[in-house]
Amino acid sequence: MIPPLVNELLESWLNWIYPPACAACGAEMESAAIPLCEPCLHFMTRLRPPVCALCGAPLEIDAAPPCPNCPDAKPAYACARSVLSYDDDRARNAIHALKFHYQKTLSLPLGRLLYIGWDYYYREVLFDALVPVPLHKQRRREREFNQSTLLCEVLSSFCRIPVREDLVFRIRKTIPQTKLDFKIRQKNLIGAIQPASGDAARNMSLLIVDDVMTTGATVNEVAAALKKGGAKKIAVLTLARAPRKAFST
């Protein structure tokens, strides 16, 4: 075991050689404990009404759903909401750093932002559990964590709603959705997500949590599986929202 003083000296030396940088904007930081600077944390583009009452996409004026970003068919969830715009480079960079560059400490500030979204949209809704979008077991072994679970756990620590990873499972490894166009995204997930058992979520009110919502295909498959498991009410909260038009070709 490395003595604390030696560990501190080693960390200081590494910070001098490789100064920690903000995962969102690249600005140099004093500490790497939470790799997100205060300006980025406070000035990432927040989504505020008007948003689509169904899918949560930002709108220029209030309008009844479906909006141009809504699913083509009625989704299995009642409504979806998001906190940040994925068009914001800072938000996108921070999410990529968590998801693809294994900067797990980002789950704390990003999870706090999720809590802001929960407080704004869902505080008055009684949920029985938070449900992270599941990873296939092979991909989870490769990544060593599920970013949606990390975000869920931080959100849970603030809103005091338990996290349930045992209600749905991804039983088939799929091609990452980011590599697919809109139509293929929907087909890619068919049959990939299943409930734990026939009535695992019976009569439960559930909030699905994920990092990014694009076409909504992933969260819709999770919601459909939860309904199959008996859930009575399902909503969605994601950290960021990307417009469907960006994924329509």
| Cα–Cα distance, 84 to 28 (Å, whole number) | 23
Per-residue pLDDT of the chain (249 residues; tens, 9 = 90+): 555 554 444 445 445 455 789 999 999 887 777 889 999 999 999 998 999 999 999 998 888 999 988 888 899 999 999 999 999 999 999 999 999 988 999 999 999 999 999 999 999 999 999 999 999 887 777 788 999 999 999 999 999 999 999 999 987 665 555 554 555 555 656 667 899 877 789 999 999 999 999 888 899 999 999 999 999 999 999 999 987 654 443
Length of the chain equals 249
pTM comes to 0.86
At 141, the amino acid letter reads: R
| Cα–Cα distance, 110 to 45 (Å, whole number) | 13
At 202, the amino acid letter reads: R
| Six token digits for residue 6 | 């030696």
Q: Which residues contact 79 (CB under 8 A, 6 or more apart)?
A: 53, 54, 55, 56, 235, 236
209-227 core/surface letters (b: 16 or more CB in 10 A; e: else)? bbbbbbbbbbbbbbbbbbb
Q: Which residues contact 50 (CB under 8 A, 6 or more apart)?
A: 58, 59, 60, 61, 62, 63
Beta strands in 75-226 (DSSP E): 79-85, 129-132, 168-170, 193-195, 205-213
pLDDT at 155: 98
| Cα–Cα distance, 40 to 91 (Å, whole number) | 8
pLDDT at 247: 42
